[in-house]
A and B are shown apart, each in its own frame.
Chain A
Amino acid sequence: MQPNNDLSLHRIMNTESLDSGLTWEVKANSSFYHKHKQKKSFLCFHWGRYADNVVRSYKYSPLTFLPLTLFEQFQRAANLYFLLIMVMQCVPIISAVPWYVTVIPLLSVLIIRGLKDLANDLARRRSDREINTRPCDVLVSQSFQTIQWKDVRVGDVLRINKDQVIPADLLLLSSSEPYSLCYVETADIDGETNLKYRQALSATHTELTSQPSEEVLSAFDGVVFCEEPNNRLYTFRGQLQWRGEGFSLDNEHILLRGTVLRNTDWAYGLTVYTGSDTKILRNCGKVRVKTTRMEKVFNRLVVGIVLCVLSAALLLAIASSVFSTWVMSHTQFQSVLVVDDNPIYTGFLVYWSYIILLSPAMPIALYITFDMIHTIHSLFIDCDMEMYWQQTDRPAQARNTSLNEDLGQVGYLLSDKTGTLTQNHLLFRQCCIAGEIFGDASVRAEDVELMDLGWNPYSCGNLFMSAPMLVQRLREDQCPISRQFFTALALCHTVMAQWTEDIPVYQAASPDEEALVCAARELGLVFLSRTRDFIVVSELGIKRQYELLAVLDFTSKRRRMSVLVREPEGGVKLFCKGADIVILERLEEDCPHLDKTERALELFAEACLRTLCVAVRSVPEALWGQWRKTLTKAATMATCDRDALLETLYDQMETDLLILGVTAIEDRLQEGVPETIALLQEAGLKVWVLTGDKKETAINIGYSCKLLDPEARLLEWQELREILQSSDPQISFLKGRQTDVWAVGKESAGVKTSLVLTGPELAEFDQRPEWEPTFMKLADQCQSVICSRVTPAQKAQIVRLVRKHTSSVTMCIGDGANDVNMIKTAHVGVGLAGVEGGQAVQNADFALSQFRFLQQLLLVHGRWSYRRISLFLRYFLFKTCGFALVHIWFGCFNGFSAQSLYERWFIAFYTVFYTATPILCVAIFEQDVNAESSLKQPELYKCGQTQELSSPLMLLSSLLYAVYSSLILFFIPCGVFYNTAFDQQTMAVTVSMAATFIATIEVILLTRYWTKINVAAVCTSVVLFFICSRITQSAFLFQRSPIDYSFMGVSEKAFREPVVWLTAFLTAWTAFLPSLTAHALRVVLSAPNKHKVHSVSSHSVELQSKFRRRTSSHRSSHQQRM
């Protein structure tokens, strides 16, 4: 091609491509051109366009680690606060306590955090290096050379071998397979393990597969114009300009980084995006940080404490000024009491000194300990054998380690249905062909007598349906319609076949399809393989090859899929399968067996089976020709409204269908679902089911999993709407309940009502936002809410509705990609690792394998976490405030001079050594009742929902208690030492001893679960106090630094004084008395009642569940008739 020509063409295309947004330009085999434009940066300057293929997920370099980690850590308000305090302590004139008192806790916090970040970063670096040094083959001057991933550049032509991971986003040029198909596994991207196929343009396929490929490939000089790098995994828009022709490119031609090449010997690709420009890396968006309700309350409280400290310091400073003025007017000497003879200035300095002195009231070590506890609680979740699912070898997983205590406060559980309540392990149980029903779903799958399918070499024996009649008909070819029915199942799908030992193993995107194709295989119509243009099927031993003309793919909007094939005999046929509604409205007029089919559909729905209608159409050749033309035209349109056109086009083809039959697939409830739901409802959770299924199926599942009481009144949209529109919804709601025949008593009426809504009905809320609060109020009084036919976006919207109008913690559980939105929206998202891909798990905060593990997660781990963390927070608040606020009272007795009452080392060690480990043990080991009893007494869970242990009032009472104990801590020793010969340092040791005692007794009272470690922690803490006191007050250290160890010899003498011990004991006991009394009163008041409640509740549950089981079948059939 002439350079001149090239240039002009270039210009034209540039303008064209700019118009359509295709501004990313990739020239094949011209790595020099791209290298020139590679992204580079120096300091904060960046230039260049194309990213290199190096993954840099690490944050720190040796040079930047220290400044960066410090910068990150000081973004936390608490750390910054303490840094300021420390800086203030370095100013001698105001430093009430020396700087190293704060530096010990602060440094330990910074170091622990820093080391954790560093370890994470090193791990990231290691994995980066591992990725960056992976080998791959790149075409350099007519031969392939092995280079590392990091050296791959835009415009390179790569060779990918079988089972290799693809290093960058590639445009597929050709592959070893016919038509340059190639198969990829996208497990890393969307978690789906089935194979997907990609296909090269026929132009590149035909031109570039000739041998020797190296030569042809290095001569390839196409230019790709495409979108700027973006994070849309499933779309790609671009154009290949080659030899003067433009070929439009879409997602099907692209091999994404991170996918694995399967079943294909090799594939050639042109690198389009590298490194940070690739779709997968663009998708690594930041995770939204979820914080727990308790943490928010606590943060507010900490701000409150800081404000209180500041105002207390202000008051003390004013008092100090007044005192200084008084001193000035009265005395000539002792002038050291007034700085620069200026009372105001003295007060100003004292203000800062008091801020320093009172700063320990702000719990610095709290946040780091909080993190630690969360991590350990998450570890417990990860390690719980009760939540380990043997069959998939998968333990539970706490992916977000900071939401543990929210698990103990969940008020609303919003659950997906398919795959969550049900197994999503689908069994083909029944079918209806030409109005005749085969199989019996009332027999349990395990009890079905397996048919002898020995005549079929491909049978695996996993068909749980007994219909010898059907087999006979098929084998003797008596009934063409049943044969056609199964042929349709064998043809109409997007399943891939993989051969292992002469048996095809099917890789399907949806479990429904797999079940259908497997069923057809068992009955002798075996799908053998697929290429781009052909599907090979063995029909009762005879291989037949169908030419695949078109696939009218499945979307959730269309709710059906079809294939257009040419039979070996030559006729064109359309096989279609889909939801009953969409298929039934597309049938030809006077379709036979319609009544019987509809009856069968009803029966199947009653039995909670998933149904699909299968239909066929013989397409006249003329129609096919015409349709094909339009289709090709549409395909080249490459515009956004292509989709709309395709839809109408598909619609035209899928008409005049002839119904073949109905398939009925059983989606069995997961093990323990009804029990779990009943238990959670007893625990006070409101369970809502949000599903995309149809209303009848949803309601039936609701009955079978005991979400709906057989006696409950179902409140549907019509009625609900009237209630919402009425002037006083509450009254009309009650009225409606009273007229209800099933409602017996007024009180129980509310419990026995369930709301049943559908997606389109919910959409009305968009127009009437004023209904929302009323709706939530009504929903609150209902036993359960079922929303069917909701889209993923609506699921999230419902969660948002609940979050907005209640203060409860919401939890969402789901297993599929359609649940991701709601999982992300809820306070706590749980993903079930199920049959559908891993997207839900990847976006969830907790991953489980079975729905029933929720009881263990919520009632055991959640409740414990909530209890432990509430106790921990309240105790922490108490111990730090109680110990620091003493200085306020002491101030009144030392001329408001910010004199410390404690030895400086005591202040430094108190939170870290003397009182930290026992409460840490409580926060780790505490159990008020064991796991079994937690599950037996679900009502215990309500304590978290009502925030019994962590309400602002409770936190405030802890604060008040701290103030009280600080008063006692000062005034009892003050009373004892007033007007005596005891010196200030002896008093300091006495008060510190009392403070340590109070903290210890309080934690002893809190601990209900005494492991050996608890005992050891309590003992060592107290012993440590005595040992450390003796060490810091030893002559040895004093001689090293007289100023820092000025308490030399004090404890030695004080510990010999009976008065010191008596005072410390009295102080500790007096401070502890209210806490003990409150506790004792609680025990005394609750002891006689508790027993009664338990025996009654467990009894009634037993009765109820029996009753429900007996009546459920009756009720569901009744429902169906309505």
Chain B
Amino acid sequence: MVKEELSTENRPDNTAFTQQRLPAWQPILSAGIIIPGFVLIGLAFIGIGVALLVTSQSIQVMEIDYTGVDQGSPCFKCTDSTVSNCKCEIEFTIDKLFEGPVFFYYGLSNYFQNYRKYGASKDASQLSGDLDYFTSPATECDPYIKDNNDKPIVPCGSIANSMFNDSFVLSRLINGAKEVVPLDGKGISWWTDYNVKYRNPSITPLKNAFNGTVKPINWPRPAYELDTSDPANNGFINQDFLVWMRRAALPNFRKLYRRITEGNYADGLPAGDYSLEITYNYPVLSFDGRKKVVFSNVSWMGGKNEFLGIAYLVIGSLCVIMSIVMLIVYAKFKFPDED
């Protein structure tokens, strides 16, 4: 029989991809790599952990609860909600120099700023200065869209309405006399918040933009009069407002109030007695909340944070322990006769 020329029409492509022979690196893990690897990583983690802990230890923190739960505490008198414009004063002592720059925070506990409906209750367009939204705020602001007279609230919504409104004056007691520590409130908010996210309407004076609107119900003053001392620090770009509007992650949080960077206190708070005068407005006891003031200085890693250092240490040690366990297991399996 005549042998036909074999046709190869259907022969598959002989490429590395179709034949699954792409050049590849096949790392083969062996005990010889894994066990030292575990040790190395463990040691690295322990190293980072130690560094973090040491850094964290060097950071000074002073935390003062001024809620006034105890009857003996100075602010107890202000816990009665019927009292308005209540002021109380707390005295404290610093044993050694509190190195600067010192950051002055206020802290709230059991306060759910991360509640979804609470967080959604604002109007981003209104806050970016769009006047259309001044007259008709977004529905998300409910129940703080309009007041009882059907006038729109600006800034609308729960977050703005519940803005923290205690204020503090820190004084150093020198021989019985009070020397007010200058507090720097500039640049405590995020740059993007201050410059992009929140804008005042481009109307001067600012007050005119708010015509026909009302202030949030809980606010003592309208938005354009938030900072009476500095006309530029008003409206939606008021630093305290910006700090408040950036919602906290968890129910216990701090927010930056001021920095102590000026005058005699640029290098920190010297040892001595201090008094903190608090204008106590913000009610937290009704929901078991606590209010604190916190003084802290910062390092390269930010504020004091022992959790991170300890966690690194724990995980690092775990890795080392694992490597030891593995070594024992390996030895047992490799030389079973010796047992």
Contacts and interface: CB of A to CB of B under 8 A. Distances in A.
Interface of A: 92, 96, 327, 330-337, 339, 353, 379-380, 382-385, 388, 390-391, 393-395, 460-462, 864, 893-895, 897-900, 925, 927, 931, 972, 974-987, 1008-1014, 1035, 1038-1039, 1042-1043, 1046, 1048-1049, 1052-1053, 1057-1059, 1062-1063, 1066, 1069-1070, 1073, 1077, 1079-1081, 1083-1085, 1087-1089
Contacts of A1084: 31, 34-35, 326, 329-330, 333
A978 B112 contact: no
Nearest to B126: A1042
Contacts of B248: 983-984
A1081 B326 contact: yes
B125 interface: yes
Contacts of B112: 337, 894-895, 897
A1035 B192 contact: yes
Contact of B254 (A337, A388, A979): A979
Contacts of A1070: 311, 315
Contacts of B311: 972, 975-976, 1066, 1070
Contacts of A1011: 22-24
A981 B253 contact: yes
B218 interface: yes
A933 to B, nearest CB: 11
A522 to B, nearest CB: 12
B193 interface: yes
B118 A1052 contact: no
A1062 B301 contact: yes
A986 B190 CA distance: 12
B142 to A, nearest CB: 7
11 contacts: A393-B6, A925-B24, A978-B252, A981-B303, A983-B246, A984-B119, A1008-B27, A1042-B127, A1083-B34, A1084-B31, A1088-B330
A394 B10 contact: yes
The binding surface of chain A is classed by DSSP as helix
A334 B249 contact: no
B253 A1059 contact: no
B117 A388 contact: no
B95 interface: no
Contacts of B247: 983-985
Contact of A393 (B8, B119, B307): B8
A517 to B, nearest CB: 15
Given A382-B12, A384-B19, A1073-B319, A1008 B124 contact: no
Given A979-B253, A1043-B124, A1081-B326, A894 B114 contact: yes
Nearest to A893: B250
Nearest to B20: A380
B150 interface: no
B115 interface: yes
A899 B249 CA distance: 11
A976 B308 contact: yes
A893 B248 CA distance: 11
B324 to A, nearest CB: 12
A1052 B329 CA distance: 47
Contacts of B52: 1062
Contacts of B250: 893-894, 974, 977-979, 987
Given A384-B12, A393-B11, A893-B251, A1059 B308 contact: yes
A1070 B42 CA distance: 12
B26 interface: yes
B148 interface: no
Nearest to B312: A1066
A1062 B48 contact: yes
A1006 B107 CA distance: 45
Contacts of B303: 980-981
A1083 B31 contact: yes
A1069 B12 CA distance: 44
A383 B18 contact: yes
Interface string B251-266: 1111110000000000
| 9 shortest interchain CB distances as A-B pairs | A1049-B192, A1042-B124, A383-B18, A899-B116, A987-B249, A897-B116, A383-B12, A984-B249, A336-B158
A1057 to B, nearest CB: 7
Residue in B8, B114, B303 whose Cβ sees the most chain A Cβ within 10 Å: B114
Interface in B231-251: 246-251
Interface string B1-26: 10000111111111000111011111
A331 B286 contact: yes
A849 B79 CA distance: 90
A1039 B124 CA distance: 10
Nearest to A390: B6
Nearest to A353: B116
Given A336-B118, A981-B255, A1014-B24, 19 more contacts: A336-B115, A336-B117, A384-B19, A395-B12, A895-B114, A927-B24, A978-B252, A979-B107, A984-B249, A1008-B26, A1010-B24, A1058-B300, A1062-B301, A1062-B308, A1066-B308, A1073-B318, A1077-B322, A1080-B322, A1081-B326
A809 B30 CA distance: 34
B288 interface: yes
A1038 B249 contact: no
A1059 B55 CA distance: 12
Contacts of A897: 112, 114-118
Nearest to A332: B286
Given A337-B112, A981-B256, A1038-B196, A330 B286 contact: yes
B220 to A, nearest CB: 15
A983 B249 contact: yes
A864 B20 CA distance: 11
B164 interface: no
Contacts of A1038: 196-197
Contacts of A864: 20
A1042 B7 CA distance: 65
Contacts of B315: 1066, 1069-1070, 1073
Contacts of B254: 979-981
A385 B12 contact: yes
Contacts of A1059: 301-302, 305, 308
A385 B13 CA distance: 8
B60 interface: no
B121 interface: yes
A977 B249 contact: yes
Interface in B317-334: 318-319, 322, 326, 329-330, 333-334
A922 B70 CA distance: 63
A336 B286 contact: no
A1053 B195 CA distance: 14
Interface in B90-138: 105, 107, 109, 112-119, 121, 124-125, 127-128
A337 B23 contact: no
